[in-house]
Chains A and B, each alone.
Chain A
Protein backbone atom coordinates (compact mmCIF):
# COMPACT_ATOMS: atom_id res chain seq x y z
CA UNK A 1 0.00 0.00 0.00
CA UNK A 2 1.18 3.43 -0.80
CA UNK A 3 2.86 5.39 1.93
CA UNK A 4 1.35 8.68 2.93
CA UNK A 5 3.84 11.36 1.99
CA UNK A 6 3.76 14.90 3.29
CA UNK A 7 5.14 16.65 0.22
CA UNK A 8 3.93 14.70 -2.81
CA UNK A 9 0.89 16.89 -3.37
CA UNK A 10 0.43 20.61 -3.65
CA UNK A 11 -1.36 22.39 -0.84
CA UNK A 12 -4.81 23.89 -1.38
CA UNK A 13 -5.06 27.62 -0.95
CA UNK A 14 -6.04 28.69 2.55
CA UNK A 15 -6.99 25.25 3.80
CA UNK A 16 -5.54 22.62 6.09
CA UNK A 17 -6.10 18.89 6.39
CA UNK A 18 -5.90 16.84 9.57
CA UNK A 19 -6.08 13.05 9.71
CA UNK A 20 -7.34 11.44 12.90
CA UNK A 21 -6.30 7.81 13.30
CA UNK A 22 -7.80 5.80 16.12
CA UNK A 23 -10.04 2.90 16.98
CA UNK A 24 -12.60 4.82 18.98
CA UNK A 25 -14.85 6.35 16.32
CA UNK A 26 -17.21 8.03 18.75
CA UNK A 27 -14.40 10.07 20.31
CA UNK A 28 -13.01 10.92 16.89
CA UNK A 29 -16.40 12.28 15.97
CA UNK A 30 -16.56 14.33 19.17
CA UNK A 31 -13.13 15.79 18.62
CA UNK A 32 -13.84 16.57 14.98
CA UNK A 33 -17.00 18.42 15.96
CA UNK A 34 -15.09 20.36 18.60
CA UNK A 35 -12.44 21.33 16.04
CA UNK A 36 -15.07 22.47 13.56
CA UNK A 37 -16.73 24.65 16.19
CA UNK A 38 -13.56 26.68 16.72
CA UNK A 39 -13.35 30.05 15.04
CA UNK A 40 -10.79 30.19 12.26
CA UNK A 41 -10.03 32.03 9.08
CA UNK A 42 -9.13 29.09 6.86
CA UNK A 43 -10.88 26.03 5.50
CA UNK A 44 -10.35 22.81 7.42
CA UNK A 45 -10.70 19.24 6.24
CA UNK A 46 -10.92 16.51 8.83
CA UNK A 47 -10.24 12.97 7.67
CA UNK A 48 -10.96 10.05 9.93
CA UNK A 49 -9.49 6.56 9.66
CA UNK A 50 -9.41 3.61 12.03
CA UNK A 51 -6.00 2.49 10.84
CA UNK A 52 -3.38 3.11 8.20
CA UNK A 53 -2.63 2.54 5.33
CA UNK A 54 -5.32 4.56 3.66
CA UNK A 55 -7.04 2.87 0.72
CA UNK A 56 -5.22 3.52 -2.53
CA UNK A 57 -8.48 3.81 -4.46
CA UNK A 58 -9.23 7.37 -3.51
CA UNK A 59 -5.67 8.59 -3.27
CA UNK A 60 -6.04 10.92 -6.23
CA UNK A 61 -8.95 12.79 -4.65
CA UNK A 62 -7.41 13.04 -1.21
CA UNK A 63 -5.79 16.41 -0.49
CA UNK A 64 -2.35 16.85 1.03
CA UNK A 65 -2.42 15.78 4.68
CA UNK A 66 -0.78 18.34 6.94
CA UNK A 67 -1.05 16.71 10.34
CA UNK A 68 -1.67 13.15 11.50
CA UNK A 69 -2.98 12.73 15.03
CA UNK A 70 -2.82 9.19 16.37
CA UNK A 71 -5.40 8.72 19.09
CA UNK A 72 -4.47 6.26 21.82
CA UNK A 73 -6.98 5.38 24.48
CA UNK A 74 -5.38 4.70 27.85
CA UNK A 75 -8.12 2.18 28.58
CA UNK A 76 -7.44 -0.06 25.60
CA UNK A 77 -4.24 -1.82 24.69
CA UNK A 78 -5.73 -2.52 21.31
CA UNK A 79 -5.65 1.17 20.40
CA UNK A 80 -1.93 1.34 21.20
CA UNK A 81 -1.15 -1.74 19.12
CA UNK A 82 -3.26 -0.40 16.28
CA UNK A 83 -1.33 2.86 16.28
CA UNK A 84 2.00 1.06 16.44
CA UNK A 85 1.01 -1.02 13.43
CA UNK A 86 -0.16 2.06 11.53
CA UNK A 87 3.02 4.02 12.14
CA UNK A 88 4.96 1.99 9.61
CA UNK A 89 2.71 3.15 6.81
CA UNK A 90 3.69 6.78 6.83
CA UNK A 91 6.70 8.40 5.24
CA UNK A 92 9.66 9.30 7.40
CA UNK A 93 9.30 12.97 6.47
CA UNK A 94 6.07 13.07 8.44
CA UNK A 95 7.98 12.63 11.64
CA UNK A 96 9.54 16.05 11.10
CA UNK A 97 6.77 17.53 13.19
CA UNK A 98 3.69 16.48 11.28
CA UNK A 99 2.71 13.65 13.59
CA UNK A 100 1.37 13.89 17.10
CA UNK A 101 0.08 11.36 19.60
CA UNK A 102 -3.19 12.22 21.31
CA UNK A 103 -3.58 10.24 24.52
CA UNK A 104 -7.21 10.10 25.61
CA UNK A 105 -8.80 8.88 28.80
CA UNK A 106 -6.08 10.33 31.00
CA UNK A 107 -8.72 11.45 33.53
CA UNK A 108 -9.39 7.93 34.74
CA UNK A 109 -5.95 6.75 35.71
CA UNK A 110 -7.24 3.89 37.86
CA UNK A 111 -8.75 2.18 34.80
CA UNK A 112 -5.60 2.37 32.71
CA UNK A 113 -4.43 -0.68 30.87
CA UNK A 114 -1.73 1.11 28.90
CA UNK A 115 1.36 2.17 30.76
CA UNK A 116 2.26 5.82 30.80
CA UNK A 117 5.88 4.90 30.16
CA UNK A 118 5.00 3.01 26.99
CA UNK A 119 3.25 6.07 25.60
CA UNK A 120 6.11 8.41 26.52
CA UNK A 121 8.58 5.99 24.96
CA UNK A 122 6.53 5.93 21.77
CA UNK A 123 6.62 9.72 21.58
CA UNK A 124 10.34 9.75 22.22
CA UNK A 125 11.02 7.05 19.68
CA UNK A 126 9.21 8.86 16.89
CA UNK A 127 10.37 12.35 17.95
CA UNK A 128 6.77 13.50 18.05
CA UNK A 129 4.84 15.49 20.64
CA UNK A 130 2.48 13.66 22.96
CA UNK A 131 -0.71 15.47 23.99
CA UNK A 132 -2.65 14.22 26.97
CA UNK A 133 -6.37 14.88 27.16
CA UNK A 134 -9.73 13.65 28.41
CA UNK A 135 -12.25 13.91 25.61
CA UNK A 136 -15.23 13.14 27.82
CA UNK A 137 -14.87 16.46 29.56
CA UNK A 138 -16.19 19.43 27.62
CA UNK A 139 -13.56 21.95 28.68
CA UNK A 140 -10.56 19.77 27.95
CA UNK A 141 -12.06 18.73 24.63
CA UNK A 142 -12.30 22.35 23.54
CA UNK A 143 -8.77 23.07 24.75
CA UNK A 144 -7.44 20.04 22.90
CA UNK A 145 -9.26 21.10 19.75
CA UNK A 146 -7.63 24.53 20.02
CA UNK A 147 -4.18 23.03 20.50
CA UNK A 148 -4.61 20.71 17.54
CA UNK A 149 -5.89 23.56 15.42
CA UNK A 150 -2.88 25.70 16.23
CA UNK A 151 -0.52 22.84 15.46
CA UNK A 152 -2.39 22.19 12.23
CA UNK A 153 -2.02 25.82 11.23
CA UNK A 154 1.72 25.60 11.73
CA UNK A 155 1.97 22.25 9.95
CA UNK A 156 0.07 23.59 6.96
CA UNK A 157 2.49 26.49 6.73
CA UNK A 158 -0.04 29.18 7.61
CA UNK A 159 2.13 30.80 10.24
CA UNK A 160 5.03 32.66 8.65
CA UNK A 161 8.38 31.99 10.22
CA UNK A 162 7.26 29.01 12.30
CA UNK A 163 7.86 25.50 11.07
CA UNK A 164 6.53 22.15 12.22
CA UNK A 165 10.15 21.17 12.76
CA UNK A 166 10.10 23.16 16.01
CA UNK A 167 7.58 20.85 17.64
CA UNK A 168 9.97 18.09 18.57
CA UNK A 169 12.18 20.45 20.53
CA UNK A 170 9.61 22.94 21.82
CA UNK A 171 6.91 20.53 22.92
CA UNK A 172 9.20 18.08 24.64
CA UNK A 173 8.05 17.15 28.11
CA UNK A 174 10.51 18.15 30.83
CA UNK A 175 10.13 14.68 32.41
CA UNK A 176 11.85 13.14 29.42
CA UNK A 177 15.07 14.91 30.17
Chain B
Protein backbone atom coordinates (compact mmCIF):
# COMPACT_ATOMS: atom_id res chain seq x y z
CA UNK B 1 0.00 0.00 0.00
CA UNK B 2 3.01 2.30 -0.24
CA UNK B 3 1.82 4.43 -3.19
CA UNK B 4 -1.50 4.91 -1.45
CA UNK B 5 0.20 6.26 1.65
CA UNK B 6 2.29 8.60 -0.40
CA UNK B 7 -0.72 9.98 -2.20
CA UNK B 8 -2.44 10.42 1.15
CA UNK B 9 0.51 12.35 2.54
CA UNK B 10 0.58 14.49 -0.57
CA UNK B 11 -3.09 15.30 -0.25
CA UNK B 12 -2.58 16.26 3.38
CA UNK B 13 0.26 18.60 2.39
CA UNK B 14 -1.97 20.06 -0.30
CA UNK B 15 -4.68 20.73 2.23
CA UNK B 16 -2.23 22.56 4.44
CA UNK B 17 -0.98 24.54 1.48
CA UNK B 18 -4.48 25.56 0.50
CA UNK B 19 -5.22 26.70 4.02
CA UNK B 20 -2.03 28.76 3.99
CA UNK B 21 -2.64 30.27 0.60
CA UNK B 22 -6.09 31.30 1.71
CA UNK B 23 -4.34 33.42 4.27
CA UNK B 24 -3.01 35.47 1.31
CA UNK B 25 0.09 37.47 1.87
CA UNK B 26 1.70 34.72 3.80
CA UNK B 27 0.92 36.05 7.19
CA UNK B 28 0.58 33.21 9.55
CA UNK B 29 -1.09 34.09 12.71
CA UNK B 30 0.25 32.06 15.50
CA UNK B 31 -2.22 33.53 17.86
CA UNK B 32 -1.55 31.92 21.13
CA UNK B 33 -4.11 33.06 23.54
CA UNK B 34 -2.50 32.76 26.88
CA UNK B 35 -4.72 33.30 29.77
CA UNK B 36 -3.78 34.02 33.26
CA UNK B 37 -4.79 31.25 35.56
CA UNK B 38 -4.71 33.42 38.63
CA UNK B 39 -8.08 34.90 37.78
CA UNK B 40 -9.71 31.50 37.48
CA UNK B 41 -11.28 31.38 40.87
CA UNK B 42 -12.56 34.91 40.54
CA UNK B 43 -13.72 36.32 43.79
CA UNK B 44 -16.46 38.73 42.98
CA UNK B 45 -15.91 41.16 45.80
CA UNK B 46 -17.20 44.69 45.80
CA UNK B 47 -13.97 46.36 44.67
CA UNK B 48 -13.64 44.12 41.63
CA UNK B 49 -17.25 44.67 40.69
CA UNK B 50 -16.82 48.41 41.02
CA UNK B 51 -13.71 48.32 38.89
CA UNK B 52 -15.50 46.30 36.23
CA UNK B 53 -18.35 48.79 36.27
CA UNK B 54 -15.90 51.63 35.64
CA UNK B 55 -14.31 49.65 32.85
CA UNK B 56 -17.57 49.00 31.10
CA UNK B 57 -18.55 52.64 31.50
CA UNK B 58 -15.31 53.75 29.89
CA UNK B 59 -15.70 51.28 27.04
CA UNK B 60 -19.29 52.36 26.52
CA UNK B 61 -18.16 55.95 26.31
CA UNK B 62 -15.55 55.03 23.71
CA UNK B 63 -18.09 53.22 21.60
CA UNK B 64 -20.53 56.11 21.93
CA UNK B 65 -17.85 58.47 20.70
CA UNK B 66 -17.06 56.24 17.76
CA UNK B 67 -20.70 55.88 16.80
CA UNK B 68 -21.20 59.61 17.13
CA UNK B 69 -18.18 60.41 14.96
CA UNK B 70 -19.37 57.87 12.43
CA UNK B 71 -22.81 59.46 12.27
CA UNK B 72 -21.54 62.90 11.46
CA UNK B 73 -22.53 63.54 7.91
CA UNK B 74 -19.91 64.82 5.55
CA UNK B 75 -21.31 67.82 3.68
CA UNK B 76 -19.19 67.28 0.63
CA UNK B 77 -20.95 64.98 -1.80
CA UNK B 78 -17.78 64.09 -3.66
CA UNK B 79 -16.03 62.84 -0.55
CA UNK B 80 -19.01 60.69 0.27
CA UNK B 81 -19.02 59.20 -3.18
CA UNK B 82 -15.33 58.48 -2.93
CA UNK B 83 -15.91 56.78 0.39
CA UNK B 84 -18.63 54.67 -1.13
CA UNK B 85 -16.37 53.70 -3.98
CA UNK B 86 -13.57 52.75 -1.65
CA UNK B 87 -15.94 50.73 0.50
CA UNK B 88 -17.33 48.96 -2.57
CA UNK B 89 -13.85 48.12 -3.74
CA UNK B 90 -12.93 46.79 -0.35
CA UNK B 91 -16.02 44.66 -0.20
CA UNK B 92 -15.46 43.34 -3.69
CA UNK B 93 -11.93 42.38 -2.83
CA UNK B 94 -13.10 40.66 0.30
CA UNK B 95 -15.72 38.80 -1.66
CA UNK B 96 -13.13 37.66 -4.17
CA UNK B 97 -10.89 36.41 -1.42
CA UNK B 98 -13.72 34.60 0.27
CA UNK B 99 -14.56 32.94 -3.04
CA UNK B 100 -11.01 31.77 -3.58
CA UNK B 101 -10.76 30.50 -0.06
CA UNK B 102 -14.04 28.65 -0.44
CA UNK B 103 -12.90 27.09 -3.70
CA UNK B 104 -9.66 25.95 -2.16
CA UNK B 105 -11.48 24.39 0.72
CA UNK B 106 -13.95 22.63 -1.55
CA UNK B 107 -11.09 21.28 -3.60
CA UNK B 108 -9.31 19.93 -0.56
CA UNK B 109 -12.49 18.43 0.78
CA UNK B 110 -13.22 16.74 -2.54
CA UNK B 111 -9.77 15.29 -2.66
CA UNK B 112 -10.04 13.97 0.86
CA UNK B 113 -13.40 12.41 0.06
CA UNK B 114 -12.01 10.86 -3.07
CA UNK B 115 -9.06 9.43 -1.17
CA UNK B 116 -11.37 8.04 1.47
CA UNK B 117 -13.58 6.42 -1.14
CA UNK B 118 -10.58 4.91 -2.88
CA UNK B 119 -9.22 3.56 0.36
CA UNK B 120 -12.48 1.88 1.33
CA UNK B 121 -12.72 0.46 -2.14
CA UNK B 122 -9.20 -0.89 -1.94
CA UNK B 123 -10.01 -2.69 1.29
CA UNK B 124 -12.51 -4.89 -0.58
CA UNK B 125 -9.63 -6.44 -2.47
CA UNK B 126 -11.52 -7.49 -5.60
CA UNK B 127 -10.74 -7.10 -9.28
CA UNK B 128 -11.71 -3.42 -9.27
CA UNK B 129 -9.33 -2.63 -6.45
CA UNK B 130 -6.51 -4.23 -8.35
CA UNK B 131 -7.27 -1.96 -11.27
CA UNK B 132 -7.30 1.05 -8.98
CA UNK B 133 -3.99 0.04 -7.49
CA UNK B 134 -2.56 -0.32 -10.96
CA UNK B 135 -3.82 3.13 -11.89
CA UNK B 136 -2.39 4.65 -8.73
CA UNK B 137 0.95 3.04 -9.43
CA UNK B 138 0.83 4.41 -12.94
CA UNK B 139 -0.02 7.89 -11.63
CA UNK B 140 2.87 7.76 -9.18
CA UNK B 141 5.21 6.74 -11.96
CA UNK B 142 4.00 9.58 -14.15
CA UNK B 143 4.32 12.04 -11.30
CA UNK B 144 7.89 10.94 -10.70
CA UNK B 145 8.63 11.38 -14.38
CA UNK B 146 7.10 14.85 -14.31
CA UNK B 147 9.14 15.81 -11.28
CA UNK B 148 12.31 14.60 -12.94
CA UNK B 149 11.51 16.54 -16.10
CA UNK B 150 10.81 19.64 -14.08
CA UNK B 151 14.11 19.24 -12.30
CA UNK B 152 15.87 18.92 -15.63
CA UNK B 153 14.06 21.95 -17.00
CA UNK B 154 15.11 23.93 -13.97
CA UNK B 155 18.71 22.88 -14.37
CA UNK B 156 18.65 23.86 -18.02
CA UNK B 157 17.13 27.18 -17.13
CA UNK B 158 19.83 27.77 -14.60
CA UNK B 159 22.45 27.01 -17.23
CA UNK B 160 20.76 29.39 -19.62
CA UNK B 161 20.73 32.08 -16.98
CA UNK B 162 24.41 31.49 -16.34
CA UNK B 163 25.18 31.88 -20.01
CA UNK B 164 23.04 35.00 -20.22
CA UNK B 165 24.88 36.42 -17.27
CA UNK B 166 28.22 35.70 -18.89
CA UNK B 167 27.08 37.27 -22.13
CA UNK B 168 25.95 40.32 -20.28
CA UNK B 169 29.29 40.57 -18.50
CA UNK B 170 31.11 40.25 -21.80
CA UNK B 171 28.92 42.91 -23.34
CA UNK B 172 29.63 45.23 -20.47
CA UNK B 173 33.35 44.63 -20.75
CA UNK B 174 33.13 45.32 -24.49
CA UNK B 175 31.30 48.53 -23.87
CA UNK B 176 33.90 49.57 -21.36
CA UNK B 177 36.72 48.86 -23.77
CA UNK B 178 34.94 50.73 -26.54
CA UNK B 179 34.57 53.73 -24.31
CA UNK B 180 38.27 53.58 -23.48
CA UNK B 181 39.17 53.45 -27.16
CA UNK B 182 36.91 56.37 -27.86
CA UNK B 183 38.46 58.54 -25.16
CA UNK B 184 41.94 57.59 -26.31
CA UNK B 185 41.13 58.58 -29.85
CA UNK B 186 39.69 61.86 -28.69
CA UNK B 187 42.82 62.59 -26.70
CA UNK B 188 45.06 61.84 -29.65
CA UNK B 189 43.05 64.09 -31.89
CA UNK B 190 43.26 66.92 -29.41
CA UNK B 191 47.01 66.51 -29.13
CA UNK B 192 47.34 66.56 -32.89
CA UNK B 193 45.32 69.73 -33.13
CA UNK B 194 47.44 71.38 -30.46
CA UNK B 195 50.55 70.48 -32.41
CA UNK B 196 49.16 71.90 -35.64
CA UNK B 197 48.37 75.22 -34.03
CA UNK B 198 51.92 75.38 -32.61
CA UNK B 199 53.39 74.72 -36.05
CA UNK B 200 51.33 77.48 -37.59
CA UNK B 201 52.38 79.93 -34.91
CA UNK B 202 56.03 79.09 -35.48
CA UNK B 203 55.65 79.62 -39.20
CA UNK B 204 53.99 82.97 -38.69
CA UNK B 205 56.72 84.00 -36.28
CA UNK B 206 59.38 83.06 -38.81
CA UNK B 207 57.63 85.05 -41.53
CA UNK B 208 57.32 88.05 -39.26
CA UNK B 209 61.01 87.93 -38.43
CA UNK B 210 61.92 87.75 -42.09
CA UNK B 211 59.66 90.67 -42.94
CA UNK B 212 61.09 92.69 -40.07
CA UNK B 213 64.61 92.09 -41.27
CA UNK B 214 63.63 93.03 -44.81
CA UNK B 215 62.00 96.23 -43.60
CA UNK B 216 65.09 97.19 -41.58
CA UNK B 217 67.25 96.56 -44.60
CA UNK B 218 65.05 98.69 -46.85
CA UNK B 219 65.02 101.47 -44.25
CA UNK B 220 68.79 101.49 -44.12
CA UNK B 221 69.02 101.53 -47.94
CA UNK B 222 66.63 104.46 -48.18
CA UNK B 223 68.55 106.34 -45.52
CA UNK B 224 71.79 105.77 -47.33
CA UNK B 225 70.28 106.91 -50.66
CA UNK B 226 68.92 110.14 -49.11
CA UNK B 227 72.20 110.93 -47.39
CA UNK B 228 74.21 109.91 -50.50
CA UNK B 229 72.21 112.25 -52.79
CA UNK B 230 73.54 115.16 -50.68
CA UNK B 231 70.16 116.84 -50.43
CA UNK B 232 69.65 118.96 -47.36
CA UNK B 233 66.73 116.95 -46.01
CA UNK B 234 66.26 119.13 -42.96
CA UNK B 235 64.93 121.98 -45.12
CA UNK B 236 62.11 120.12 -46.84
CA UNK B 237 59.48 119.22 -44.17
CA UNK B 238 58.20 116.20 -46.17
CA UNK B 239 61.66 114.78 -46.65
CA UNK B 240 62.47 115.44 -43.00
CA UNK B 241 59.43 113.43 -41.89
CA UNK B 242 60.47 110.56 -44.13
CA UNK B 243 64.01 110.45 -42.80
CA UNK B 244 62.88 110.59 -39.20
CA UNK B 245 60.40 107.83 -39.85
CA UNK B 246 63.16 105.70 -41.29
CA UNK B 247 65.02 106.07 -37.97
CA UNK B 248 62.33 104.11 -36.13
CA UNK B 249 63.20 100.58 -35.12
CA UNK B 250 60.74 98.16 -36.74
CA UNK B 251 61.24 95.57 -33.98
CA UNK B 252 59.80 97.96 -31.39
CA UNK B 253 56.52 98.51 -33.19
Residues of chain A at the chain B interface (Cβ within 8 Å): 1-3, 7, 11, 13-14, 32, 36, 40-58, 62, 93, 156-161, 163
Looking at the assembled complex, report how far the CB atom of B242 sits from the nearest CB atom of chain A, in whole angstroms. 87
**A1's contact among B24, B31, B55, B58, by CB below 8 Å, is which?**
B24
B27 adjacent to A53 (CB under 8 Å): yes
Task: Kindly state whether residue B57 has any CB partner on chain A within 8 Å.
Answer: yes
**Contacts A1-B24, A50-B28, A54-B29; A45 near B35 (Cβ below 8 A):** yes
A58 adjacent to B97 (CB under 8 Å): no
Among residues of B, the one whose C-beta sits closest to the C-beta of A160 is B54
Measured between beta carbons, the chain B residues less than 8 angstroms from A45 are: 33-35
A62 adjacent to B55 (CB under 8 Å): no
Inter-chain CA distance A62–B97, complex, in Å, is 18
Most A CB atoms within 10 A — which of B33, B54, B66, B101? B33
**A57's contact among B62, B94, B101, by CB below 8 Å, is which?**
B101
Measured between beta carbons, the chain A residues less than 8 angstroms from B26 are: 51
Most A CB atoms within 10 A — which of B19, B25, B52, B94? B25
**Contacts A1-B94, A43-B39; A48 near B24 (Cβ below 8 A):** no
B59 adjacent to A11 (CB under 8 Å): yes
Looking at the assembled complex, report how far the CB atom of B31 sits from the nearest CB atom of chain A, in whole angstroms. 4
Inter-chain CA distance A13–B54, complex, in Å, is 12
A158 adjacent to B29 (CB under 8 Å): no
**Contacts A45-B33, A57-B19; A51 near B25 (Cβ below 8 A):** yes
B55 adjacent to A157 (CB under 8 Å): yes
A49 adjacent to B27 (CB under 8 Å): yes
Most A CB atoms within 10 A — which of B56, B58, B101? B58
Among residues of B, the one whose C-beta sits closest to the C-beta of A46 is B34
Task: Kindly state whether residue B160 has any CB partner on chain A within 8 Å.
Answer: no
Among residues of B, the one whose C-beta sits closest to the C-beta of A56 is B97
Inter-chain CA distance A56–B39, complex, in Å, is 31
Task: Kindly state whether residue B98 has any CB partner on chain A within 8 Å.
Answer: yes
Looking at the assembled complex, report how far the CB atom of A118 sits from the nearest CB atom of chain B, in whole angstroms. 23
Task: Kindly state whether residue B251 has any CB partner on chain A within 8 Å.
Answer: no
B90 adjacent to A48 (CB under 8 Å): no
**Contacts A11-B59, A43-B39; A53 near B25 (Cβ below 8 A):** yes
**A55's contact among B22, B39, B56, by CB below 8 Å, is which?**
B22
**Contacts A53-B25, A55-B23, A160-B54; A46 near B62 (Cβ below 8 A):** no
